[in-house]
Structure 1
Amino acid sequence: MFTAKTYEDVKKAVSFAAEHNIRLTLLNSGHDFLGRNDAPSGLSLDVSQLAGVRVLSSFTPSAQGAEAPLSEPNVITPGSGQAAVTFGAGVSTQQLNDALAPSNLFTLGAAHGSVKTAGGWGQAGGHAPLSSKYGLGVDQVLEYKVVTADGKLLVANKVVNADLFWALRGGGGSTFGVVVEATVKAYTSPKITVTNWWINATNAAEPDTSVLPAWRKSYVHLIGTGAGAFMADSLRTLAPDTGAYVNEAHFKNPNWKTDFWGTNYERLSEIKSQYDPNGLFWATPGINADHYEVQNGRVCKVTPVDSSMA
Structure 2
Amino acid sequence: MKKLASFLFAILASMYLETKSFYFILLPLGAVATPIASRGSYAPPLFLCETIQLTDETLSRAALSIQNKTISDLFSFGPSFKNLSDAQKLPHSCKLLPGDALWPSDTVWKTFNDLLEGSLIQPEPLAAACYPEWSDYNVETCATITAQWMNSDLHMIDPTSIMSPLYEGRSCMPLGYIYTGSCLQGAYPTYVVNASTVAQIQLAVNFARNSNIRLVVKNTGHDFNGKASGKGALSIWTHWLKDKAYYPSFQAANGYNGPAIKVGAGIQVFEAYEFAKDLGVTVVGGEAITVGLAGGYTAGGGHSPLSSLYGMAADQVLALEVVLADGSFVTATASENPDVYWMLRGGGGSTIGVVVSMTVRAYPKLPTTTVTFNFTIDDTAGPDAFWGAVQAYIDNIETFVDAGTYGYYYLGASAVEVGTDYAGNTDYYFRMESFVAPNMTVTETRELLAPWFNVLDELNVTYNPCHDVWVVAFPQEYVGTDATKFGSRLIPRNVFQDEELRRELFIAHENAIDNGLYILGFQVSGKGIAIEPPTDNAVLPAWRNALAHILVGIEWNPASSWEVVYNSSLYVTDWMDLLRDIAPNSGAYMSEADLLEPNLQEAFYGTNYPRLYELKQRYDPTGLFFALTAVGAEDWEIQVTDPLPNSWNNNGRLCHV
Do the structures match in fold with TM over 0.5?
yes
Q: Which amino acid aligns with 1:213?
A: P
Equivalents in 2 of 1:290, 1:225: separation in Å? 25
Identify the residue that residue 77 of structure 1 maps to in structure 2. none
Identify the residue that residue 362 of structure 2 maps to in structure 1. 186
Could you report, residue by residue, the CA deviation over 1:81-125 in whole angstroms, capped at 9, with x for unpaired residues?
Answer: 521001110011111121222220111111122111001000001
Equivalents in 2 of 1:166, 1:181: separation in Å? 16
Identify the residue that residue 212 of structure 2 maps to in structure 1. 21
Correspondence 1:283-294 to 2 at 5 A: 283-294=627-638
Correspondence 1:129-278 to 2 at 5 A: 129-195=305-371, 196-197=434-435, 199-201=523-525, 202-203=527-528, 204-226=532-554, 228-278=572-622
Q: What SS does structure 1 have at the residue aligned with 2:548?
A: coil
Q: Alpha-carbon deviation of 1:20? A: 0.7
Could you report, residue by residue, the CA deviation over 1:243-264 in whole angstroms, capped at 9, with x for unpaired residues?
Answer: 0001111111121011101111
Equivalents in 2 of 1:113, 1:299: separation in Å? 32
Q: Alpha-carbon deviation of 1:179? A: 0.2
Q: Alpha-carbon deviation of 1:11? A: 0.8
Identify the residue that residue 299 of structure 1 maps to in structure 2. 654
Equivalents in 2 of 1:260, 1:179: separation in Å? 21
Tell me if structure 2 keeps the 8 A contact 1:115–1:121: yes
Equivalents in 2 of 1:234, 1:223: separation in Å? 13
Q: For structure 1, which segment, 267-276 or 220-229, has the greater mean C-alpha deviation from structure 2 after superposition?
A: 220-229
Q: What SS does structure 1 have at the residue aligned with 2:294?
A: helix
User: Does 1:48 pair with 2:376?
Assistant: no
Q: What SS does structure 1 have at the residue aligned with 2:296?
A: helix
Could you report, residue by residue, the CA deviation over 1:186-224 in whole angstroms, capped at 9, with x for unpaired residues?
Answer: 111111012324632334432331011000011222233
Q: For structure 1, which segment, 188-197 or 151-160, has the greater mean C-alpha deviation from structure 2 after superposition?
A: 188-197
Tell me if structure 2 keeps the 8 A contact 1:141–1:183: yes
Q: Alpha-carbon deviation of 1:60? A: 2.5
Q: What SS does structure 2 have at the residue aligned with 1:118?
A: coil
Q: CA RMSD in A?
A: 1.7
Percent identical: 39
In structure 1, runs of 5+ residues without a counterpart are: 63-79, 303-310
Equivalents in 2 of 1:225, 1:207: separation in Å? 33
Count of residue pairs the alignment pairs up: 285
Identify the residue that residue 227 of structure 2 maps to in structure 1. 36
Q: What SS does structure 1 have at the residue aligned with 2:250?
A: coil
CA distance 1:82–1:240, change in 2 (3 Å): same
Equivalents in 2 of 1:81, 1:180: separation in Å? 23
Tell me if structure 2 keeps the 8 A contact 1:145–1:153: yes
Q: What SS does structure 2 have at the residue aligned with 1:12?
A: helix
Equivalents in 1 of 2:598, 2:295: separation in Å? 25
In structure 2, runs of 5+ residues without a counterpart are: 1-191, 372-433, 436-521, 555-570, 642-651
Task: Determine which of 611, 625, 648 is the counterpart of 1:281.
Answer: 625
Q: Alpha-carbon deviation of 1:14? A: 0.5
Equivalents in 1 of 2:368, 2:335: separation in Å? 35
Identify the residue that residue 414 of structure 2 maps to in structure 1. none
Identify the residue that residue 65 of structure 1 maps to in structure 2. none
Q: Which amino acid aligns with 1:230?
A: D
Q: Which amino acid aligns with 1:126?
A: G
Scaled by the length of structure 2, the TM-score of the pair is 0.42
Higher relative contact order (CA 8 A, sep 6+): 1
Could you report, residue by residue, the CA deviation over 1:277-310 in whole angstroms, capped at 9, with x for unpaired residues?
Answer: 00000111110101111236322211xxxxxxxx
Equivalents in 2 of 1:293, 1:91: separation in Å? 32
Equivalents in 1 of 2:221, 2:600: separation in Å? 22
Equivalents in 2 of 1:235, 1:210: separation in Å? 24
Q: Which amino acid aligns with 1:200?
A: V
Tell me if structure 2 keeps the 8 A contact 1:51–1:88: yes
Q: Alpha-carbon deviation of 1:133? A: 0.4
User: Does 1:60 pair with 2:60?
Assistant: no
Task: Determine which of 9, 12, 16 is the counterpart of 2:203.
Answer: 12
Equivalents in 2 of 1:81, 1:141: separation in Å? 13
Could you report, residue by residue, the CA deviation over 1:40-94 in whole angstroms, capped at 9, with x for unpaired residues?
Answer: 21201111111211101122246xxxxxxxxxxxxxxxxx952100111001111
Q: Which amino acid aligns with 1:299?
A: L
Q: What SS does structure 1 have at the residue aligned with 2:352?
A: coil
Identify the residue that residue 125 of structure 2 maps to in structure 1. none
Q: Alpha-carbon deviation of 1:265? A: 0.5
Q: Which amino acid aligns with 2:573?
A: A
Q: What SS does structure 2 have at the residue aligned with 1:250?
A: coil
Identify the residue that residue 407 of structure 2 maps to in structure 1. none
Tell me if structure 1 keeps the 8 A contact 2:251–2:258: no
Q: Alpha-carbon deviation of 1:155? A: 0.6
CA distance 1:58–1:231, change in 2 (3 Å): farther
Q: Identify the structure with the greater helix proportion.
A: 2
Tell me if structure 2 keeps the 8 A contact 1:57–1:81: no
Q: Which amino acid aligns with 1:301?
A: H
Q: What SS does structure 1 have at the residue aligned with 2:251?
A: coil
